[in-house]
Amino acid sequence: MRYRELVKEYTDPQTAKKEIIQRINDIDPNDEQQKILLDKIYTILNTTNVVGRFTPDIEVALKGEYKKQVILEIAHKMVSSPRLNLNQKNIFLQNFKQDKCIDSNVLLKSGHYNIVKDLFYGNNINYQMFLEFVDWGAGKARAGKGEHALAILSKKIKQKGLGDIDVLGKAVELKVAVTKGSGRLGEGGVSPDQAKTIISKFSELTDALNSFSIGGYDTGSEFVKSRGRMDKPQKSINVSDFTRIVNSLGLDITRKQQIGNAIFSNVFGKHGEKITAEFSKSNANPKNVTAAYISANFDWYKDNPDMGGAWEYLVSMSLGSGGMITATSGDDLANLYNKGAIAEGKPMIIPTQQTDVFFQVNPTAK
């Protein structure tokens, strides 16, 4: 029996009542699909009673953080969630009462995690209720995606007005992506024209970068390929390809330091020195330069209170991959990148959009 057959439009209430009762009698409780329908009907008919069971426990857990009317809204949302059947919702309520929906420890410990296994105690019921609330409240009072969901599901997590979450008294910067790419480490950035102006001061780079933009540059030992063509040059270049090209030009350390200071300090101030130190080495390793870039970007972002507030921990969740990372420093994040916990996204030296100069944290599956 299809759901629309049960709830089709009617004109005579008495006839409709008899037809609905007959159709419900015809539901086979041994058929999985029909069982789901029966569960939905029961939940609809008993919403008031079920909400009544949920609300007192939710009220105790969330009192002081959410107003009474909002708590009632949360209870209704839990009860009416199509992600779980009624039995699963009752299991969730027991987990909720025992504060066993979220293991908050992983939000305060550097590492690479599996979201369901490590954050939600390996319980998909907890995770499904998190998904029910992942977009709830986003955009209000600068709240980001997932912040209210975590705060609702754990007594140890609070959603703060500036958009951070507070975990056991520690400020956490949270980035959540439904698919992949959970947000860049910075706001603003560098415009393409500004980046080109800086690079134009180093004339020895011009021919190589022009060649790269229309298909690629032959360094003599490798071909650094781009997507550009003569009729449609590639306008951007990432830190790895830029390093490979500059390596081939035979520049001395002093000149490479000048290039690095001009480019990296323009983006990250004093933190750019870490990138320049790696970039200016003879035959610099592009992956090491990228790791230094990621580390500097993190520390610059963390030191800048205008970029999301004063926080101690960065948590990035990719719901698409099911992976999650926690980092407390630039070196932490660079180590996670080197271990493959973060996908191989490369920030741009010449960006297409100005925020492309910032690294985008994209946790891999664990």
Tens-digit pLDDT profile for residues 293-349: 999 999 999 998 787 668 899 999 999 999 999 999 999 999 999 999 999 889 999
| Claim to verify: residue 38 and residue 56 sit in the same structural domain | no
Rounded average pLDDT over 136-143: 65
**Residue 225 pLDDT level (bands cut at 50, 70, 90):** very high
In the chain, how many domains are there?
Answer: 3
Q: Report d(CA 275, CA 194) in Å as an integer.
A: 19
- The average pLDDT across 159-172 equals 80
> Pick from 210, 260, 204, 202: which is nearest to 234 by CA?
210
Q: Are residues 10 and 118 in the same domain?
A: no
Q: Are residues 206 and 331 in the same domain?
A: yes
- Look at residue 86 in the predicted model and tell me its pLDDT: 78
Half-sphere exposure of 269 (CA within 13 A, CB side): 6
Least confident residue range of 39-43, 172-176, 214-218: 39-43
Q: 306 is in which domain, residue-wise?
A: 192-357
206 is a domain residue: yes
- State whether 223 and 339 are in the same domain: yes
* Cβ–Cβ under 8 Å, residues 58 and 71: yes
The answer to the question of residue 86 being in a domain is yes
Q: Above 70 in pLDDT, residue 18?
A: no
Cβ neighbors of 115 (< 8 A, separation 6 or more) are: 127, 317, 319, 322, 323, 324
157 and 70 housed in the same domain: yes
In a domain, 58, yes or no: yes
In the prediction, which pLDDT does 111 show? Answer: 97
Q: Name the token pair of 91.
A: 């299991």
Q: Are strands 165-167 and 170-177 parallel, antiparallel or unpaired?
A: antiparallel
Q: Give the pLDDT confidence score for residue 49 in this predicted structure.
A: 57
Q: Are residues 299 and 204 in the same domain?
A: yes
Domain shared by 78 and 31, yes or no: no
> Are residues 37 and 95 both part of a single domain?
no
Residue 253: CB partners within 8 Å, gap ≥ 6?
280, 281, 282
Is 336 within the bounds of a domain? yes
Residue 330 inside a domain? The answer is yes
**Of 168, 201, 236, which marks where a domain is finished?**
168
pLDDT of residue 306: 80
Residues 277 and 226 in one domain: yes
CA distance 214 to 244: 17
pLDDT category of residue 130 using cuts at 50, 70 and 90: very high
- Interhelix angle 253-268/286-303, rounded to 10 degrees, is 30
Q: Are residues 65 and 41 in the same domain?
A: no
Tell me if 186 is assigned to some domain: no
Separation between Cα atoms, residue 290 and residue 240, nearest integer Å: 6
Do residues 354 and 189 make contact, with C-beta atoms less than 8 angstroms apart?
Answer: yes
From residue 295, alpha-carbon distances to 176, 206, 242, 279, 323 in Å are 20, 28, 18, 14, 20
Residue finishing a domain among 45, 60, 77: 45
Half-sphere exposure of 26 (CA within 13 A, CB side): 10
**Are residues 154 and 206 both part of a single domain?**
no
Task: Please report whether residue 134 resides in a domain.
Answer: yes
Give the rounded distance of the alpha carbon of 63 from its chain centre: 28
Name residue, tokens 């980001």: 144
User: If pLDDT is split at 50, 70 and 90, which confidence band does 209 have?
Assistant: very high
Residue 358 near residue 239, CB atoms below 8 Å:
no
- What is the average pLDDT across 93-108? 95
- Residue 179 in any domain: the answer is no
Q: Within 10 A of 82 (CB to CB), how many other CB atoms are there?
A: 11
Residues 204 and 327 in one domain: yes
